Structure 1
Amino acid sequence: NAMLQKGSHNKFGVGNRTFVFWASSNTDAAEQTEESLFDLLGFTDEEQDDPNAKINQVRKVFTSIYSGTLKTSLDDRFYILGLAPNSARIAVVYWSECSLKEFAGKILRHFDDMEIIDTRKDGKPYMGIKDMLAAITLNGKQSEATPNLPEAVVKSIFQGTPYPFTLFSACIRRIRAESGNKDKNAIRIARMAIIKAYLNRINDNNKKIDTMLDKSNTNQGYLCGRLFAVLDKIQEDANRISSIRERYMNAASATPASVFATILNLSSHHMEKLANESRRIFYEKIKQEIIDKIPATGFPAHLDLQDQGRFFIGYYHQRQDFFTKKED
Structure 2
Amino acid sequence: MNWVSSLCALYDANAYRAGEVERWKGKDLVLLPIGYDTMEAQVEIHIDQNGNFIRARTLEKDEAETLVPYPDSRASGIKALPLFDGLSYIAGDLLETVTFYFSGAKNEKDKKKKKARLRESFPLYIAGLKAWCESPFSHPKVAAIYHYVGKQTVAKNLIDSQVLVADENSIVSDKIKIQNASVEKAFVRFRVFTNDNNSPDSILSDPDNAHDSAVWLDKTVQRSFIAYYSSTLHKKDLCYMTGEHMPIAKTNPVKIRGKWDTKAKLISANDESNFSYRGRFNTKEKKTGYNEALSIGYNTSQKAHNALKWIIRRQGFSRDGVCLVAWENALRDLPNFHDSAASILAKVSDDGEADEAEFEEEALFEEDEADVPVTNYVSAAKFNAALDGYASKLSDISNMVVLALDSATPGRLAITYYKELKSSRYLKNLRTWHESCCWKHEYIRDKELKVYEGMASIPEIALAIYGTEQGEDKSNPKIKLSKNSDNKSPMLVSAFERLRPCIIEGAAIPRDMVRAAVLKASNPLAYEAKFNYRKVLHIACSMVKRLYWEKKQRNEREGVIFKMELDRSNRDRSYLYGRLLAVAERVERVTYEKGETRITNAERYMQAFSHAPFRTWTMIWSNLQPYMRQLKPSGREFYKNLVGEITEQFKYEERISGDPLDGKYLIGYDCQRSELKRKPNGQSSSEEENKKENNEGEE
Normalized against structure 1, the TM-score is what? 0.80
- Counterpart of 1:71, as a letter, is K
Match of 2:634 among 265, 278, 302: 278
Amino acid at match of 2:505: Q
Give the corresponding residue for 2:220: none
* RMSD over aligned Cα atoms: 3.4
**Identity of counterpart residues, as a percentage?**
19
User: Relative contact order: is structure 1 or structure 2 higher (C-alpha 8 Å, sep ≥ 6)?
Assistant: 1
Task: Name the CA shift for 1:15/1:7 in 2 (closer, same or farther; >3 Å).
Answer: farther
Contact between 1:116 and 1:211, CA under 8 Å: does it hold in 2? yes
Q: Is the 8 A contact 1:80 1:95 kept in 2?
A: yes
Separation in structure 1 between the aligned mates of residue 587 and residue 9 of structure 2, nearest angstrom: 62
| Pairing 1:292-303 to 2, within 5 Å after superposition | 292-297=648-653, 298-303=655-660
Contact 2:575–2:668 under 8 Å retained in 1: yes
Change (3 A) 1:7 1:130: farther
Residue 128 to residue 59, structure 1, CA distance change in 2 (3 Å): farther
Structure showing the higher strand proportion among its residues: 2
Aligned counterpart for 1:51 among listed residues 355, 380, 383: 355
CA distance in 2, matches of 1:76, 1:6: 17
- Indicate the structure with greater helix content: 1
Instruction: Select the residue among 130, 148, 157 that pairs with 2:459.
Output: 130
Q: Give the counterpart letter for 1:313 in structure 2.
A: I
Structure 2 partner of 1:234:
587
Matches within 5 A, 1:105-184: 105-117=428-440, 122-125=449-452, 127-136=456-465, 137-139=467-469, 140-141=479-480, 146=491, 147-177=493-523, 179-180=524-525, 183-184=528-529
Is 1:208 the counterpart of 2:509 in the alignment?
no
- Whether 1:18 aligns to 2:323 is yes
Q: Deviations over 1:284-307 (max 9, x none)?
A: 232122101112223331225xx1
SS of aligned partner of 2:324: strand
Compared CA separation, residues 80 and 61, structure 1 to 2 (3 A): same
SS, match of residue 420 in structure 2: strand
SS in 1 for 2:660: coil
Give, as a single letter, the amino acid of the residue that structure 2 aligns with 1:65: Y
1:66-99 CA distances to partner (integer Å, 9 max, x unpaired)? 4xxx232331110112233355443332121111
1:196 touches 1:209 (CA, 8 Å); kept in 2?
Answer: no
Q: Is the 8 A contact 2:537 2:666 kept in 1?
A: yes
**d(CA) in 1 for partners of 2:645, 2:543:** 28
Cα distance 1:22–1:132, how it changes in 2: closer, same or farther (>3 A)? same
What letter matches 1:23 in structure 2?
E
1:32 equivalent to 2:333? Answer: yes
Note if 1:73 corresponds to 2:395.
yes
1:323 aligns with 2:677: yes
User: What letter matches 1:113 in structure 2?
Assistant: S
Q: Is the 8 A contact 2:575 2:667 kept in 1?
A: yes
Q: Distance in 1 between matches of 2:640 and 2:511?
A: 38
Measure, in 2, the Cα distance between the counterparts of 1:230 and 1:312.
13
Task: Give the structure-2-normalised TM-score.
Answer: 0.40
- C-alpha distance in 2 between matches for 1:131 and 1:300: 35
Q: CA deviation at 1:15?
A: 4.2
Say whether the 8 Å CA contact 1:138–1:174 is kept in structure 2.
Answer: no
Gaps of 5+ in 2: 1-6, 15-310, 345-351, 357-375, 470-478, 484-488, 553-558, 683-699
Q: State the shift of 1:123 in Å.
A: 3.0
Matched, 1:101 2:424: yes
- Quick one: distance in 2 between partners of 1:324 and 1:180? 25
How far apart are the structure 2 equivalents of 1:216 and 1:185? 30
The answer as to whether partners of 2:566 and 2:672 remain within 8 angstroms in 1 is yes
SS in 2 for 1:155: helix
Q: Deviations over 1:1-38 (max 9, x none)?
A: 44323657442235434223221224xxxx220xx328
Change (3 A) 1:162 1:123: farther
Contact 2:441 2:456 in 1 (8 A): no
